[in-house]
Structure 1
Amino acid sequence: MRNWQPMVRCVGVVAAITAIAGCTTQGQATSESAASGQTSEPSVDVAALDTGNYPTDPRPAFGKATQDNILQVEGQRMAQFVVVPFEIDEDLTNANLPTMVITGQNSLGPVFPADIAKVPANKNMLMGFVGTAATPDEKLRTGAKSVSNMVLRYATAGDAAAAARQMADATAASDKVRTTTLPGLPDTHVVRTNSGGNSQMMAFTAHNTYVLYQWYETPPTQQVLQEPTIRKAIALQTALIDKFPATPTKNEAKARGITGSSAPVIDQNHVLIYALPYSDEDLKKGQNLALPGASIRAVYGPRGMAQMSGDPKTDFTLLTDVGSTANAVEKSTVYRATAADGAKKIVDTSLASNRSQGWADAPSPAGLPIAKCQSKTLESGTWYLCYVQKGRYVGTYSAPNPKDVQQAISAQYVILTKADQNAN
């Protein structure tokens, strides 16, 4: 499992701790350890840890989404129902930008030029999610390919149909080509172009209140792959988005006879409360963030985590196998498996993967021998990672400052000693 934030940080993620977690706190054996007969982890004097200025308590529950953040929360929820690029083309495992939550017409800039993003129907676009990936370096000898897969939600099915048509027409006009359709898919508008010596195929499909968008680029020698791959993507994405439990709009709620607030609960699985937070000011200004702002302070399932992973196939399979269905992403990342052995499997798998990518073991923070740390020199400088497990939970943190990383992971450990090991 490599880092799931390669677009910004270019570092490896979750590594292993070999000790059995949940056994000691402040040097005292817990009843869990005594009852199970497990070998206890090294003693940790929580009070002696250097946690810097980081918080050491879980945050209060977040409550329901508000008018200010509901589009962001819905986009984060949608990520689990957006097909990951490797599911479309198994060669595409190198995550790229744009991979992010879309919170309205104004956030389409990383995906489309202004003349496409600003088509009239997109004024009624609510939110969405886009994932992008390319051929990894080790497979470039067979030809570079890339795909973007995006789902956008609109206020009505009519708005979605208009948007698909208008965006396709604007794309075709900018490239001075015509839109076409695919036999058997009358709601799909296709644009074929060439750029930089490569061939591109773009498909805009209206599906209920959604627009499904695929952009697929191949060398000319592999152009024959484009139509069957786009058809596969549309079929997979149509089936998956139909499972998304979308929060009804006000008009939809009224039509269904729903009264009162139908806004989703933020962090309904109570795992984001354990992640180290960014300040509200950092989030507002978009400064020093690991991902585009709407994509963090988030909870993702295995598919959502795989969208931004450097090893998406491994991550999706691993997190699914260990029941890590709710994972928190903010300044740190917190995974929660069904059981402690699943959490250990997450970190063991990750440490091995990181080492295969050139990461070297680094010292643990003072007083926290159960944390495992690594470092690697990149073009941008040396990066440091630390990981810690407590029972079902794994906390991870990475940064270019070793002291910061050690303080952060120490604070993360203290928070995880207070985490609910029986949470759903």
Structure 2
Amino acid sequence: MVFRAGRSSRVRLRTVVCVGLAVMVVGSAGCGADSGDSEQAVDLGKLDTGSYATTPKDPTAADPQARGRVVEALRVGNIMPLGSEVDPLLTHNTDVPHVFLGKNSFSGYLNVEHFDADTPGFVSGFATEAQAPAESGRYSLDNAVMIFDSESAAANAAEALARTGFDMKDEERAEVVSLQSNQHPTAHIIWSPKKQNLAAWYPTGRFVIVSVINQAEEFYLQSYWNAPPAPAPMALADKAIEVTADRLKSFQPTPPDKLTALPLDPDGILRLTLPRPEGDRTANAFPGTLDKHGALHKADEPEVSRALFDKTGVDVVGYGAGELVRTRDHAAARTYFDTAFIDKFQHRIDSPPGLPNARCVKYHGPSKSAFPFTCHVTFGRYVASVWSQQQQDVYQRISAQYAILAKSK
């Protein structure tokens, strides 16, 4: 969850809102926001916000059924275990967790060509991925929960998905074998010795727990660099199923005909989050919210972020065209802002015109998937982050996000 930026040239924010004929943000108390030290005034009328929204707005759904499925998946994300809660060595999240409603299945190791045909009654799913560091062998666990409209649909889908199996060439499929778990005998499990991949589909109630273990890199590191052996893949799959199934005991799935009644903004943060424009593919997020635990699935190092969440009282995060973190209070937001965004590959650039409070960075590093530009800003108890391929766009996003927060007072 924590996006990291250069720590040099720290900007300490002291924000209080006042509204007059010209909307300004000035450093004085008594205007309906947390009091703080004096800082440069922000004239919202002079911010370049492009075509982005600049006022708070309660979220709506053009497709209430689809949005209800997304909300249901995010509810599951809030109770799903972190990788480190399955195996303490899985300390790094390696992919953006995401909601999936169909063929955009969660794991690149699995064949999704027949996903829709294999999963009648599928509602939605939430997936995460965690990895052990190189010194521990660098094996990974993809873990997901799929929700179905009935127990029979879940059981049938688990069997069908296991038959479809891995995404591999036909000649490679011949060496894939089926395995049996003594601990979870109803799980459908396949193993590829050549690829060092194991996948398990475990139906339980209206859910299917899907756990995919990849040890290809671990196999290489162990063979050539004497890395310690990873846990046996079957044992790791059993543990993932066990821990996830235990968490699901506290989750009550929504009846399919009630999905549209799920609140879109149960914590009141999404109305303050910069909405994602229709068709936007810039932000690797999703429209919705995750609670304190759920948001840790988005953290590079979730245990580090957990400590920061505890210290600053983070309780919920909103996701739209970026993300909005709600902390305990104004002082906690400043602490979060000054602590969270650290990355040696990100270097400070100028703040957007008219918004000196924002901290913006440009990425210079090895990742080909990293967004080049990121900006952060704090306001009251909130800390906002946005990212983009274009510098002007990231400036407009953070300026619009700031305006939304300023106008919420």
* TM-score tier (shorter): 0.7 to 0.9
| Match for residue 79 of structure 1 among 77, 80, 84 | 77
Distance 1:118 1:38, change over 3 A: closer
Deviation of the 1:146 alpha carbon: 1.4
Q: Which runs of 5+ in 2 are unaligned?
A: 223-228
What CA deviation, in whole Å up to 9, does each residue of 1:47-85 have, x standing for no partner?
Answer: 333333332211234379722422122222322122222
Matched-pair contact (CA < 8 Å) for 1:64–1:266: no
| Residues 24, 44 of structure 1: 8 Å contact kept | no
Partner in structure 2 of residue 8 of structure 1: none
Distance, in Å, in 2 between the alignment partners of 1:370 and 1:24 is: 16
Question: Which of 369, 388, 398 lines up with 2:387 in the alignment?
Answer: 398
2-structure distance, mates of 1:312, 1:82: 13
Cα distance per residue 1:237-271 (max 9 Å; x no partner) = 11222223432223xx7xxxxxxx87201112221
Query: Secondary structure of the equivalent of 2:185?
Result: strand
TM-score by length of 1: 0.79
What residue is the counterpart of 1:247 in the other structure?
254
Cα 1:114–1:409 shift into 2, 3 Å: closer
Match of residue 290, structure 2, among 276, 300, 310: 300
**Contact 1:301 1:327 (8 Å CA) reproduced:** yes
Report the secondary structure of 1:296's partner residue: coil
Question: Matches of 1:224 and 1:389 in 2, distance apart?
Answer: 42
Q: Which structure 2 residues correspond to residues 157-168 of structure 1 after superposition, within 5 A?
A: 157-168=151-162
What corresponds to 1:188 in structure 2?
187
Relative distance call for 1:145 and 1:301 in structure 2 (3 A) is same
Evaluate the alpha carbon distance shift between residue 114 and residue 54 of structure 1 in structure 2; reply closer, same or farther with a 3 A threshold: closer
Task: Determine the structure 1 residue equivalent to 2:300.
Answer: 310
Percent identity of paired positions between Structure 1 and Structure 2: 22
User: Residues 278 and 262 (structure 1 numbering): CA distance in 2 closer, same or farther, change over 3 Å?
Assistant: closer
Q: Is the 8 A contact 2:89 2:136 kept in 1?
A: no
Could you tell me which amino acid in structure 1 is paired with residue 124 of structure 2?
A: M
Selected match of 1:237 from 220, 237, 244: 244
Q: Which residue number corresponds to residue 7 of structure 1?
A: none
Could you tell me whether the CA contact under 8 Å between 2:190 and 2:199 is conserved in 1?
yes
> How far 1:98 moved relative to its partner?
7.4
Q: How far apart are residue 33 of structure 1 and its match?
A: 7.4
Contact 2:15–2:36 (CA under 8 A) maintained in structure 1:
no
Of 44, 47, 51, 2:45 maps to 47
> Which letter maps to 1:165?
E
Pair 107,214 (structure 1): closer, same or farther in 2 beyond 3 Å: same
CA separation of 1:343 and 1:65: change in aligned 2, threshold 3 A: farther
Deviates more, 1:146-155 or 1:159-168: 159-168
Residue equivalent to 1:202: 199
Supply the distance in 2 between the matched residues of 1:65 and 1:290 (Cα, whole angstroms): 20
Q: Which residue of 2 aligns with 1:127?
A: 124
* Aligned 8 A contact 1:14 1:387 in 2: no
1:247-266 counterparts in 2 under 5 A?
247-250=254-257, 263-266=261-264
Residue identity opposite 2:296 in structure 1: A
**What's the C-alpha RMSD, in Å, of the aligned pairs?**
3.4
Contact 1:127 1:152 in 2 (8 A): yes
Query: Which residue identity does 1:398 align to in structure 2?
Result: W
The 8 Å contact of residues 17 and 25 in structure 2, kept in 1 or not, is answered as no
3-state DSSP of counterpart to 1:168: helix
Q: Which amino acid aligns with 2:359?
A: K
Q: Distance in 2 between matches of 1:2 and 1:147?
A: 20
Change (3 A) 1:37 1:339: closer
- Cα distance, 1:63–1:359 mapped onto 2, change above 3 Å: closer
35 and 363 in structure 1: CA distance in 2 versus 1, 3 angstrom threshold: closer
Supply the AA of the counterpart residue of 1:240. R
| 2:282 equivalent among 265, 285, 289 | 289
SS at structure 2 position matched to 1:47: helix
Q: Which amino acid aligns with 2:357?
A: I
Task: Determine which of 401, 408, 412 is the counterpart of 2:401.
Answer: 412
With the length of structure 2 as denominator, give the TM-score of the two structures: 0.81
Structure with more helix by fraction: 1
Indicate yes or no: 2:317 matched with 1:327.
yes
CA contact (8 A) 2:362 2:374 kept: yes
Q: 1:98-109 maps to which residues of 2 (within 5 A)? A: 99-104=97-102, 106-108=103-105
1:115 Cα deviation from its structure 2 partner:
6.1
Q: Give the aligned length.
A: 386
2: CA distance, partners of 1:386 / 1:340: 19
Structure 1 residue 386 corresponds to structure 2 residue 344: no
* Aligned twin of 2:358: 371
* Structure 1 residue ranges without an equivalent (≥5): 4-10, 254-260
CA deviation map 1:22-56 (0-9, x unaligned): 36662545544799874233322223333333322
C-alpha separation in 2, matches of 1:140 and 1:159: 39
Deviation at 1:193, TM superposition (A): 1.9
